[in-house]
Amino acid sequence: MSEGEQATQATNETTSFYDRPNVQKEIIPVAGGIPFGFETVINTDLGIGGVYGAWGPSYDNNALPEFIEGLTGEPLDKSESMDLADLGFVSRHHTPTQLSKDEHRELELEVGERLLRQTLAVNSWDPADVSGLLLGLTAPVTDDYVEQLAQRIGLPNNALKLSVHKACDGAMGALHLALNPELSPPGYVNIAEHLRGKKVLVGGIEGLSRLISLAESYDRHALQLFGNGAGIMGVIPGETMKFLVGRTRENFDEEGALRVRMYYPHSRERVPGKSLLEVSQVGPDHIRIAGLMPEPNAGEAIEMAGLMGMVKLFVRTGVQVASEVFQDYQDLMEKLGQSGKSLKVAVIHHANYKINLLISKQLSKGGINLPMPWVLSDFGNISAASAMIAFLRQLEDIDPGDHVLLDGFGAGTYYDVMAVSFG
């Protein structure tokens, strides 16, 4: 049995997310009906609850070639077929491609609204008491997506809205900003200080099926790897989740191993010596953080150079940043007189199993051994939503006082790694 198949078997996942015993299934009344499913998670000892889910039909590895042929009009050549089980994936969710732009917009607004309402419910929160909505989005279906969702669920007009466009690092980047007061961009409200002790909704919502099939610019690798997914949780920064140490890093993808069209406002200028991130005040209470990414040629939506390019892109810098944060954590524990304290688990972005396995092996060579459970075989790569869902699937096993490493990384390239405590 391959390492990927072992990882899949170890998670005890069913083939489709919709088949999990606690998933609630609905039909969203757009374009004749789109399947939607979600699962709620709560840890009352920590005071943290969340919801994660997916939309669109579920395609397992066996059904995927026929689906791709239906999209592109051509069979999936064996040379283009990926060993998805080895990469840790058994299924993913795709949206019907015949949807209009307006239907895509209404579908993803409806998905976001339902997930957010469920997150409020599982935390027993009144929307009037929520002070922030922070979402990571690789390619938002509309520029004012976060604002529209805040209005739909009845958040106060002055609730802080934060849109973070850093590809797969978006949700962890948003969470890092909510916890670490040293990260807020100068000239704007200090996000962590503003939200400390307040109720906040944070997560990632990714309609990647829409992105990779947009304008019929299909990338065969992307169609196999990516899918739709979302994960959102309710936290009270500084109380239910506390920042210990963390680092953020930018390392531009010079070779363009993973090119993604920026469907959000960005000047597309790269200024030597300056951040790749552009910060803008969209409205009185809405801040956008947009990251520069290499873009495909000819206006396509996404273009991948291959798996080895992805490995080179993410592993070296990813290991470096994680190692630095681990050392910072050890230094902090020694300073606090808790040198025997250890990190219970590491929750990292599920780019694919081989990338994560290699990160783990490289860290181990440096004497850093962290449990990194593989838990998203039924979603595929869902970008900014993946680390949030991975965390929610670990939530029930976390105890008050536990320390956890959270690790996000995404195209561009961006990294947010932090150690946090609970309860």
In whole angstroms, give the CA distance from residue 26 to residue 38. 9
Q: Would you list the domain boundaries of the chain?
A: 3-422
Residues 6+ apart with CB under 8 A from 298: 217
401 burial level (CB within 10 Å; 0-12, 13-18, 19+) = exposed
Across the strands, what pairs with 162?
134, 287
Closest by CA to 351, choosing from 316, 315, 319, is: 315
378-412 pLDDT tens trace: 999 999 999 999 999 999 999 999 999 999 999 99
In whole angstroms, give the CA distance from residue 305 to residue 257. 5
Averaged confidence pLDDT in the chain: 93
Q: In the predicted model, is pLDDT for residue 78 greater than 70?
A: yes
CB atoms within 10 A of CB 249: 16
326-340 pLDDT tens trace: 999 999 999 999 998
pLDDT recorded at residue 221: 86
24-76 pLDDT tens trace: 999 999 999 999 999 999 999 999 999 999 999 999 999 999 999 988 888 98
pLDDT recorded at residue 98: 83
Angle formed at CA 301 by CA 358 and CA 268, multiple of 5 degrees: 90
Across the strands, what pairs with 70?
none
Across the strands, what pairs with 86?
none
191-202 pLDDT tens trace: 999 999 999 999
In whole angstroms, give the CA distance from residue 148 to residue 113. 9
CA 34 to mean position of chain CA atoms: 22
Residues 6+ apart with CB under 8 A from 189: 160, 287
Residues 6+ apart with CB under 8 A from 271: none
Q: In the predicted model, is pLDDT for residue 1 greater than 80?
A: no
For the domain bounded by 3-422, which CATH number is listed? 3.40.47.10
Give me the mean pLDDT over the 151-170 stretch.
98
Cis ω for the linkage preceding 72 (within 30 of 0): no
Q: What does the block give as tokens for 139?
A: 């390619």
> How far is the CA of 311 from the CAs of 2, 39, 276, 318, in angstroms?
19, 31, 21, 10
Across the strands, what pairs with 259?
303
Reported confidence tier of residue 13, pLDDT bands at 50, 70, 90 = very low
**Of 13-17, 40-44, 280-284, the least confident:** 13-17
Whole-model pTM: value is 0.95
Reported confidence tier of residue 5, pLDDT bands at 50, 70, 90 = very low
Q: Report CA torsion sign: 42, 44, 45, 49.
A: positive
Give me the mean pLDDT over the 121-128 stretch.
98
pLDDT recorded at residue 217: 65
